[in-house]
Amino acid sequence: LVVTGLTANSKTYDATTAAGLGGTAAINVLSGDAVTVGGTASGTFANKNVGTAKAVTVTGNILSGADADNYSLVQQSGLTADITPANLVVTGLTANSKTYDATTAAGLGGTAAINALPGDTVILGGTASGTFANKNVGTAKAVTVTGNTIRGADAGNYTLVQQSGLTADIDKANATVTGNSDSVTYNGQNHSVSGFTVSGLVNGELTTVLTGVSAAGSGTNAGSYDVVPVGTDSNYRLTLTNGKLTIAKVDLTVSANDERKAYDGLRYSGGNGVTYAGFITGETSNVLGGTLGYAGSSQGALDAGSYAITPAGLNSVNYRLRFIDGLLSISAPPPVAPAVVLPPLPSPSANPPPLGTASSDGPSGASVSLSQNGRVTSGNGISIPLPTQLASAATGSNAVISVTTVNGGVLPAWLKFNPETKTFVATAVPDGALPMQVMVTINGQRTTVVISNHAEE
């Protein structure tokens, strides 16, 4: 009597050979016989291991009833079922946070572990590794674990499940953005600099990853201008450093013009203008600051000779000024005829005049003899009028008179000239000071006058 109606249930590996049964056991007895099937049917796999369509042996069905002894019970056969691998979950790992490195790699901590069924031989091996879903900065980012493996006699009965649920952070990396720099020379045009360089980018990344960053600076006049970087980035903590646009000054020479003059007894001042070399196209001295002036040895020069005319006083934002001296040449006065020494004055009267004068043969020279009772004595003060021919030339309100030594110097302290009275005043004449030549210039005409002391006849 064959049992029918049962089915074998597949199962997940549980390290046993037990097989679950479904359906209802039934028998087909001969008509009129009183036989029933009872007992508790059970199924058994041939072994515990994972497999498909594994044969299941049925036991446990029994017969009962008045006619049961007339039958031999045959357990249902031909049943099969599957044993599928059990999941073996890795535990014990942790995910480590990191600083952005442009990779998805995630560091793991802890120790991987598994919990196989009792009696099974399963060993955990391999090298666990973690991976973020993407490389970008974020918090509580999911980390996927791979790399754990199992081995051992019963390893084939398990499906290894890598640990899940791990999270970690990716923090921003530090990088420095520096604006580009450039140097040019002033040319009156606007100059601009853009772009930047970066230090601190990781894993071979290029500046192009910083899509939110820019840098720019510009200027026209000579000087230094900042090239300022701006912006942020999602993966880098940026330190922004300015670059420099340097506009250098142009060299400009300012050369004093030379000047020549004949000795005229007047001290020189000022200059004869300047010549510029180096202005860029379209610019003139109007762009310079300050006021043109002159310095150097020429200022106040009187005597014949060569003197430096030094330009000064100008300044500029855009030009590097180089001042070049000019030359002042003062020529000596033309030679004058020798002074004519007049014959000695006659003996003085009871009230002798303080001075005897006489004319030379022309306006170029005159001799003046000083006499006080026939002699000028050192230390005495004497009033000395100009010789007649000079005094007459110096008349009139427009007459210009100057008196110097014959080489253009100032008169000695003991000798003064009063242009209003046209008179010399000699005071405390030093021994040996006479005779003395002086240059009298009247309206540009120079005449040498000899002041002398001679004995009374």
In this structure, the answer to whether residues 127 and 139 fall within a common structural domain is: yes
Residue where a domain stops, chosen among 147, 171, 195: 171
Burial track 262-273 (b if 16+ CB lie within 10 A, e otherwise): ebebeebeebbe
Tokens found for residue 431: 């021994």
| Window from 128-137, 384-393, 448-457 with minimum mean pLDDT | 448-457
User: What is the mean pLDDT of the segment spanning 444-451?
Assistant: 84
Give the model's pLDDT for residue 454.
56
Looking up tokens 């042996």, which residue turns up?
Answer: 57
Give the model's pLDDT for residue 352.
37
Higher local confidence (pLDDT), 118 or 378: 118
User: Residue 349 falls within a domain, yes or no?
Assistant: no
| Total Cβ atoms within 10 A of residue 55 | 16
In this structure, the answer to whether residues 113 and 94 fall within a common structural domain is: yes
User: Residue 343 falls within a domain, yes or no?
Assistant: no
In this structure, the answer to whether residues 256 and 296 fall within a common structural domain is: yes
In this structure, the answer to whether residues 72 and 101 fall within a common structural domain is: no
Q: How many domains does the chain have?
A: 5
Name the CA dihedral angle for 274, 279, 285, 287, rounded to a multiple of 10 degrees: -150
C-alpha span between 133 and 150 (Å, rounded): 25
Residue where a domain stops, chosen among 198, 228, 248: 248
DSSP string, 109-134: EEEEE--PPTT---EEEEEEEEEESS
| pLDDT over 70 (residue 372) | no
Residues β-bridged to residue 446? 441
In this structure, the answer to whether residues 49 and 100 fall within a common structural domain is: no
In this structure, the answer to whether residues 197 and 267 fall within a common structural domain is: no
In this structure, the answer to whether residues 261 and 325 fall within a common structural domain is: yes
DSSP string, 298-338: TTT--SSEEEEEEEEEEE-SSEEEEEE-EEEEEEPPPP-PP
Which residue range forms the structural domain that includes residue 418? Answer: 355-453
| pLDDT over 80 (residue 33) | yes
167-213 residue pLDDT tens: 999 999 999 999 999 999 999 999 999 999 999 999 999 999 999 99
In the sheet that 305-315 helps form, which strands lie side by side, from edge to edge?
259-262, 326-331, 305-315, 289-295
User: Residue 340 falls within a domain, yes or no?
Assistant: no
In this structure, the answer to whether residues 182 and 231 fall within a common structural domain is: yes
In this structure, the answer to whether residues 100 and 116 fall within a common structural domain is: yes
pLDDT band at 452 (very low <50, low <70, confident <90, very high): confident
Tokens found for residue 441: 């210039």
| Total Cβ atoms within 10 A of residue 392 | 12
pLDDT band at 370 (very low <50, low <70, confident <90, very high): very low
* Pairing of the two strands 123-132 and 138-151: antiparallel
Q: What percent of the chain has pLDDT over 70?
A: 88
In this structure, the answer to whether residues 360 and 449 fall within a common structural domain is: yes
224-258 residue pLDDT tens: 999 999 999 999 999 999 999 999 999 999 999 99
In this structure, the answer to whether residues 238 and 298 fall within a common structural domain is: no
In this structure, the answer to whether residues 71 and 91 fall within a common structural domain is: no
| pLDDT over 90 (residue 419) | no
User: Residue 124 falls within a domain, yes or no?
Assistant: yes
* Pairing of the two strands 436-442 and 18-26: unpaired
293-351 residue pLDDT tens: 999 999 999 999 999 999 999 999 999 999 999 999 999 876 554 444 433 333 333 33
User: Residue 150 falls within a domain, yes or no?
Assistant: yes
User: Residue 341 falls within a domain, yes or no?
Assistant: no
Which helix (H) or strand (E) covers residue 254, if one does? strand 250-256
Q: What percent of the chain has pLDDT over 90?
A: 74
* Pairing of the two strands 18-26 and 123-132: unpaired
C-alpha span between 278 and 320 (Å, rounded): 10
User: Residue 347 falls within a domain, yes or no?
Assistant: no
Give the model's pLDDT for residue 447.
85
Which domain CATH number covers 263?
Answer: 2.60.40
37-46 residue pLDDT tens: 999 999 999 9
Which domain CATH number covers 381?
Answer: 2.60.40.10
For the chain, helix (H) and strand (E) counts, in that order, are 1, 37
User: Residue 193 falls within a domain, yes or no?
Assistant: yes
C-alpha span between 371 and 345 (Å, rounded): 8
Question: Residue 159 class from Cβ within 10 Å (0-12 exposed, 13-18 middle, 19+ buried)?
Answer: middle
8-25 residue pLDDT tens: 999 999 999 999 999 999
Mean pLDDT for the chain overall: 89
Question: With contact defined as beta carbons under 8 Å apart, do 382 and 371 qualify?
Answer: no
Residue where a domain stops, chosen among 171, 204, 230: 171
